[in-house]
A = this chain, B = another copy of it.
């Protein structure tokens, strides 16, 4: 049970290390007859790669997906779809210096203890690059969801101590896709400052899902909220998840929190959306809103105390090219995981 498969009906199995031959995914349970929009999937991949955004790593990789199966004459066949990315731009020498020690706040230590062996180059499978596979699969899910009128968009609402206040979600642009264009400037400043200081910052991404029908999710253990939490928190560096008012709910009174209802011409309207679109674990037709918190990137060019593989004390300074903030590139990954979760829930709701 390697834990590399996500989903119940629509499943995604990912594989690949940062410096192995290729990364990829196998998407299974995807319905037949959906036009395979290669360009759209590639564009989603492009949102992720460094070089696409200047706030991240100053490194260029071309992530061109290669489709190995499951598509015929431009349409999905119902058969498993394998998409791979061949690794082209790797600098093994960047990492050889740290193959015998554990970088603080990276998975090096836990992988070594758990497996007795790890591919240390570029972080191996713990590399942020692993998310490429998720984005490819998530892009495919977005195509399906679009046919059902479901759309997903995410943006940055916090970097370090700077929070978005006046939010407009209609047109997210820029690298951070921040709904508060004013605050975005301060956010970028925080990131650049961190880069200059050889430090890193974290942030919060908010995601909006519109067009969800009533009834997705299962009442007990597969609540849509818990499935989303499971999906989002599996993204590396994610340390928190909340839906609707989230942790703010704890401060509110019931009279303020409850979303009252009114009927209007055969339709049910909610007078507020503190729930974030999910009631009793099931979507209520309202916009689903959730947030994910990301820790500051572990790799910083500062000396830190750590231990070697032989458990001797040493220090570690991670040279090389890395992100002072991974939030910008995590946005499309958050959307991808949300898409996979929603599509899976949608298919499950059809099975009756």
Whether A75 contacts B117 in the complex (CB less than 8 A), given A214-B110, A239-B276, comes out as yes
What is the oligomeric copy number?
4
A334 to chain B minimum Cβ distance, whole angstroms, is 13
Q: Say yes or no for A259: interface residue by CB 8 A criterion.
A: yes
Q: Is the CB of B296 within 8 A of A113?
A: no
The 12 listed contacts between A and B (C-beta, < 8 Å) are: A1-B11, A13-B26, A109-B261, A110-B279, A110-B282, A199-B255, A200-B255, A221-B234, A226-B230, A239-B246, A258-B300, A267-B311
The interface centre, meaning the residue of A67, A70, A236, A299 with most chain B CB atoms within 10 A of its CB, is A70
Q: Is the CB of B78 within 8 A of A279?
A: no
Listed stretches A55-63, A123-131, A170-178; interface member: A123-131
Q: Say yes or no for A250: interface residue by CB 8 A criterion.
A: yes
Complex Cα distance A321/B87, Å? 38
Give chain B residues whose Cβ lies under 8 Å from the Cβ of A231. Answer: 221, 226
Complex Cα distance A298/B208, Å? 24
Q: Indicate which residue in B8, B202, B298 contacts A1 across the interface (CB closer than 8 Å).
A: B8
Chain A, range 140-163, C-beta contacts under 8 Å to B: 158-161
Chain A, range 87-142, C-beta contacts under 8 Å to B: 102, 104-111, 113-119, 124-126, 130
Complex Cα distance A225/B276, Å? 22
A-B pairs, top 3 by smallest CB distance, nearest first, are: A107-B280, A3-B218, A3-B222
Q: How large is the interface on A (under 10, 10 to 19, 20 to 34, 35 or more residues)?
A: 35 or more
Whether A261 contacts B296 in the complex (CB less than 8 A), given A21-B67, A126-B219, comes out as no
Complex Cα distance A258/B227, Å? 28
Q: Indicate which residue in B22, B109, B232, B262 contacts A305 across the interface (CB closer than 8 Å).
A: B262
Q: Say yes or no for A223: interface residue by CB 8 A criterion.
A: yes
Q: Is the CB of B2 within 8 A of A296?
A: no
A128 to chain B minimum Cβ distance, whole angstroms, is 12
Q: Is the CB of A294 within 8 A of B5?
A: no
A237 to chain B minimum Cβ distance, whole angstroms, is 9
